[in-house]
Amino acid sequence: MDEHNDFLQWFNTTWRRAEDALHNGDSSGRFTTWSDREPVTLFGAWLEALDPEAAREVFLKLADSFSSSVSGDIELIAADVSGDLAYTVHREITSTHINGEPSAYALRVTQVYRREDGQWKVVHRHADTAPPTADGP
């Protein structure tokens, strides 16, 4: 398997499972898919962090807010790998509960990944609310 397909395999399995778990109130997967080495930046749709410890705090807050995920779809727009760095541009379409209330939303997301000790880790995320489309959120 080439490095591009290897990265996409990780993105579609390990990373995806971590995101699904987060939307069900479990942040543990994010702790394994995100780097704990500087630099780490998170410009999330609701919260931000500028170092690994602050990112972990954000993940815990998000997990405390999310529960009972109904669905989570990823529309991968672009992805590439160059050596030990990779990126994705994608939309996340989510239906979950936030603080016990049903919520559906779509985010536009750009993420940067670094290979550390042979494992892909997220080192940067920028997400914002995507404008509605004719197909829904």
Single pTM value for the model: 0.93
pLDDT single digits (tens) 98-123: 999 999 999 999 999 999 999 999 99
Report pLDDT for 131: 79
Pairwise CA distance, residues 36 & 10, whole Å:
18
How many angstroms separate the CA atoms of 132 and 137, rounded? 5
Q: Quick one: pLDDT at residue 18?
A: 98
Between CA 15 and CA 22, with CA 17 as vertex, the angle to 5 degrees is 95
In angstroms, how far is CA 76 from the centroid of its own chain?
12
pLDDT exceeds 70 at position 136: no
Judge whether residue 36 has pLDDT over 70: yes
When the pLDDT of each residue in the chain is averaged and rounded to a whole number, the result is: 95
Q: Which domains does the chain have, with CATH numbers?
A: 3-129 (3.10.450.50)
Beta strands in 11-134 (DSSP E): 41-43, 48-49, 66-82, 85-98, 101-116, 119-129
